[in-house]
Amino acid sequence: MKEFIKKHILKIVGIPVGAIAGFAYYYFVGCASGTCPITSNPYISVVYGAVLGYLLFDLFKKKEKHGTN
């Protein structure tokens, strides 16, 4: 379990950070009329933010070296 957490720590951290950012976007920007599919619903904003946080933090992972150098 520790090895899994060590290997995927950025992804694990990215999910709650993205979820918080998604809720903050809903709360501060949002869409009062309800016509915006993502920002009019806080649950969808949180899930969308969590997915984007996962993907964004995944960009910063270290590349594994393969070969005999």
* d(C-alpha 2, C-alpha 20), whole Å: 25
pLDDT digits (tens, 9 = 90+) for 12-63: 999 999 999 999 999 998 887 878 888 888 999 999 999 999 999 988 777 7
Token pair 């009329």 is found at 33
How far is Cα 24 from Cα 58, in angstroms, rounded to an integer?
A: 21
pTM for the model stands at: 0.80
Please give the pLDDT value at position 67.
63
Q: Which conformational region is residue 67 in: left (phi greater than 0), alpha (psi within -120 to 50 degrees), or beta?
A: left
pLDDT band at 69 (very low <50, low <70, confident <90, very high): low
Does the structure show a pLDDT above 70 at 68? no
Q: Which residue has the higher pLDDT, 22 or 65?
A: 22
